[in-house]
Chain A
Amino acid sequence: MSIWRVEATIMPKDGVNDPQGEAIRNGLISLEFADVRDVRAGKIIAVKLEADTEREAIERGTRMCDQLLANPVIETYKLSATPINTTPKDELV
């Protein structure tokens, strides 16, 4: 059993209005990035959990996203899992 950092990257689905992304795009255009075509704003949720394998960590992250972290009506998600080397000191972080 080891500790994994599972990251869910959650984004608004294609076709779903993203006024936040649009506002960020307007800000970028006001700077020196007039060529910016599109900005989409999402979020990353990082979960530390115990799992035997990367596959198990991702599988649990998938269940978390399906049930709570993402709303399938408006959002998609991608998952990654990174092992965390645990020393007693790290576990406090």
Chain B
Amino acid sequence: MIVPPRVAVIGFPGSNGDHDAVHSLNHDVGVEAILVDYRDRTLDGFDAVVLPGGFSYGDALRCGAIARFAPVMEPLKAFADMGGPVLGICNGFQVLTEAHLLPGALLRNKTLRFHCFQTQLRVEPSISPWLSRCNAGERLTLPVAHGDGAYFVDEGTLATLERQGQIALRYVGAEHQGARSEENPNGSVAAIAGITNAQGNVFGLMPHPERATNPLIGGVDGLRILSSLRDISVTKGIAS
């Protein structure tokens, strides 16, 4: 019998995408997802970890800045350091940058508006196991829902990210109420929508793959990313 990988979805105070992620992973992706409390001090027995979207700690100080102190972040860091697959979606991406598990920072959208629409993304050449089921150059349509999604890094770090294949996704367009907007809707440096760490096991992105895993909710392109979780059962949480 094949045992599906077990995926921890961390619920912080103020998370609002946690149940979306658990539902999507269990019902559409076909892995075993379990909601884990931010006060838990162990992630033993999990093969992957997802930090969901939302507004942890009310975005106090800076988005994601306070979640870094949650007890669960200690085993999460150890898990990431061992090469365990970690995915940060939206606020989860912000948390990963504030926790120094990913480089850069997320700034206020250049429009100063909350963005809630479909974006078109291009998959970049990447070593990340999270993109192992995607092809470089492939286009994905995924929804965004954020006010602080403009990715920023200094030029030196950007060059390093480019060179090491850490840029996973770039915006190539957005569609809002039937109208197409410009290619880089929120003003991210180099139109970056998602990046990985140098090893590729930690992946953060502003768009929501878990909200595009079923035709009933308007798209299935999220499966192109999340179904990579089904390949983990062989490696048991250690990214190859």
Please, which residues of chain B bring their CB within 8 A of the CB of A71?
62, 65, 98, 105
Query: Does A82 touch B at the CB level, under 8 Å?
Result: no
Q: Across the interface, do A19 and B108 meet the contact criterion of CB distance under 8 Å?
A: yes
Beta-carbon contacts under 8 Å, A63-81 to B? 68-69, 71, 73-74
Q: List 16 A-B contacts (CB under 8 A).
A: A16-B107, A17-B110, A17-B150, A17-B187, A19-B109, A20-B108, A23-B112, A68-B61, A68-B65, A73-B97, A73-B103, A73-B104, A73-B153, A73-B154, A74-B105, A74-B152
| 0/1 interface trace, chain B 73-117, chain A, CB 8 Å (1 if under) | 000000000000000000000000110000111011111100000
Size category, B interface: 10 to 19
Please, which residues of chain A bring their CB within 8 A of the CB of B110?
17, 19
Q: State the interface size on chain A (CB cutoff 8 A).
A: 11
- For the complex with contacts A73-B105, A73-B152, 10 further pairs of A-B residues with Cβ separation under 8 Å are A17-B150, A17-B152, A17-B187, A19-B110, A19-B112, A20-B112, A71-B105, A73-B104, A73-B154, A74-B105
Name the distance in Å between B89's Cβ and chain A's nearest Cβ: 20
Q: Across the interface, do B112 and A17 meet the contact criterion of CB distance under 8 Å?
A: no
Please, which residues of chain A bring their CB within 8 A of the CB of B103?
73
